[in-house]
Amino acid sequence: MKLKTDIELRMNDEIKKIRSVYFIGIGGIGMSAIARFFHSNGIKVSGYDRSETELIKELEAEGLEIHFDENVEVIPKDVDIVVYTPAVPKDHRELVFYQQHGYKVVKRSDVLQMITKSSFNICVAGTHGKTTTTTMIAHLLRDSGYGCNAFLGGISVNYGTNFWSQTPAGASEGNDKNVCVVEADEYDRSFLKLDPDIAVISSMDPDHLDIYGTAQAMEEAFIDFSEKMKPGGLLISKFGLKRGKDLQARRHLTYSLQNETADAYAENIRMKNGSYEFDVVIKDNRLEDVILNMGGMHNVENAVAAITVASSLEIENDKIRGAVESFKGVKRRFEYIIKNKRIVFIDDYAHHPEELRALIQGAKTLFRQKKCTIIFQPHLYSRTRDLANGFAEVLDLADEVILLPIYPARELPIEGVSSEMILERMKNTAKKVMNKDDLLKWIKTDYIKNINTEFGQVLITGGAGDIDTMVEPLKETLEKI
């Protein structure tokens, strides 16, 4: 697949005119990647978010100006463009000010559309699996010397960032590629602003029903996304998707974990000390003895998708194999916080029933003899209401379940919807709802006392809210045992 552009991301004329950008919700994972893009190109970047996080501290350390009060008196008045996330309330005072005073106000997806207008785009979509797959692809291209620019929905452990624009070490002179690897977010139909040269669709399970209304409407959006392919583009979709046959693309490959009917699949999978070794078959190409140092069989499947993309770009098998082995994963995607004989502590962003299923099954498969306890924080009242039965069914796979109160994010409470809604639907009797303070006390007393001395235990924290703030105090407590 021949590419005829420049390795460093070219700024088109629309972007070149911008001298100053203001972000409302700058701490979001997708927003911060775009903020870093502008900052890396010498454009002044400032923004608002409601609270300071570790990611925001990193942005401030990089030189971005950020404040935390919703205050029109302190916001810059000389900005060329204002970018906001759909998660920001419509009555946000700063957003309203800019809208009413004639500023150019756009969503994050509009800016991503501007940035990628003139590049070769590898876009990864799916209700789950997209962040890890996007990061794997970007790492494979960077580590192999092929090169890419990356806009990720998570923090790459290898590079400690969710954005980069770089010329790969060892790239040949005259390497004239202008490639963007982009996480294509289905929320608010944002991914329909993108024009992929290569598209990956990892899943189409119901989610964001507050936006789409029905599962069918959401599926139609993925079909619309497949129609956004550029002429001659390549679609790579998971084998067996419910509406897979309706996806529109002249060039279409399917991938699977182990189904040999797919165009790409893994076989001869072996598990060793929390890692996987396997072979990958892609039509006439075969990669043997691929090593993935990440937990979860779903990540083997994600690796098959990423390898299929790299293979389609004619990257050499040895380079692909080496890049997969060196991939360290994504923060909060089956991330090992502690891994020893007595305790395995895993943190994960899983916030959908199918993500939780993959997470729990992955942990229990890798550590069969260890008791598995999951601490889960539901994310959004609407998602909890719509998917309560699914959450209950999947959480029953764990040996013990602790639920935190719902993290509301952008939503107001819904009457009758709480974490107890999931709890009462579960069949497992080893279950509780706790607040964060009670959770820490429980870990220090009951949990530690009951760790199996022969086989050890697995502890998982899962969710897309602020449960990540519990990881460090839990780690400190567990490291003392």
- Spatial separation of the C-alpha atoms in residues 173 and 168, rounded to whole Å: 11
Kindly report the backbone phi and psi dihedral angles of residue 83, in degrees, each rounded to the nearest multiple of 5, phi listed first.
Answer: -115, 130
- Spatial separation of the C-alpha atoms in residues 230 and 422, rounded to whole Å: 43
User: What is the residue type of 336?
Assistant: Y
- Spatial separation of the C-alpha atoms in residues 321 and 146, rounded to whole Å: 14
Predicted confidence at residue 296, as pLDDT, reads 84
Confirm if 138 and 150 have CB atoms less than 8 A apart: yes
CA quadruple 377, 379, 382, 388: dihedral sign: negative
Predicted confidence at residue 208, as pLDDT, reads 63
DSSP H or E segment with residue 37: helix 29-40
- Spatial separation of the C-alpha atoms in residues 471 and 55, rounded to whole Å: 15
Nearest to 419 by CA among 397, 387, 447: 387
Confirm if 403 and 419 have CB atoms less than 8 A apart: yes
Q: DSSP code of 407?
A: B
Count CA atoms closer than 13 A to 130's CA, side-chain side: 26
SS3 assignment for 321-348: HHHHHHCCCECCCCEEEEECCCEEEEEE
Q: How wide is the angle at C-alpha 475 spanned by C-alphas 66 and 59, nearest 5°?
A: 15
Domains in the chain (CATH in brackets) are 13-107 (3.40.50.720), 119-326 (3.40.1190.10), 335-478 (3.90.190.20)
What DSSP letter does each residue of 133-181 carry, written as one string?
A: HHHHHHHHHHHTT---EEEEEEEETTTTEEEEE-PPTTPPTT----EEE
Residue pLDDT tens, the chain, 481 long: 443 334 445 566 778 889 999 999 999 999 999 999 999 999 999 999 988 888 999 999 999 999 999 999 999 999 999 999 888 889 999 999 999 999 999 999 999 999 998 899 999 999 888 999 999 999 999 999 999 999 999 999 999 999 998 654 444 444 457 899 999 988 888 899 999 999 999 998 767 667 777 888 889 999 999 999 999 999 999 999 988 889 988 899 999 999 999 999 999 999 887 789 999 999 989 999 999 998 888 899 999 999 999 999 999 999 999 999 999 999 988 899 999 989 999 999 899 998 899 899 989 988 989 999 999 999 999 999 999 999 999 999 999 999 999 999 878 999 999 999 999 999 999 999 999 999 999 999 889 888 877 888 999 999 988 999 999 999 999 998 7
User: What is the residue type of 360?
Assistant: I
Predicted confidence at residue 274, as pLDDT, reads 72
Confirm if 34 and 111 have CB atoms less than 8 A apart: yes
Please report where in the chains the tokens 């024009």 appear, as a residue. 195
Predicted confidence at residue 172, as pLDDT, reads 44
Please give the structure tokens belonging to residue 414.
């819904």
- Spatial separation of the C-alpha atoms in residues 417 and 452, rounded to whole Å: 35
Kindly report the backbone phi and psi dihedral angles of residue 319, in degrees, each rounded to the nearest multiple of 5, phi listed first.
Answer: -70, -40
Predicted confidence at residue 187, as pLDDT, reads 80
Long-range Cβ contact pairs of 267-273 (< 8 A, separation 24 or more): 269/297, 269/300, 271/365, 271/366
What is this structure's pTM?
0.83
Q: Are strands 457-462 and 371-376 parallel, antiparallel or unpaired?
A: parallel
Contacts of 392 (CB under 8 A, 6+ apart): 422, 423, 425, 426, 427
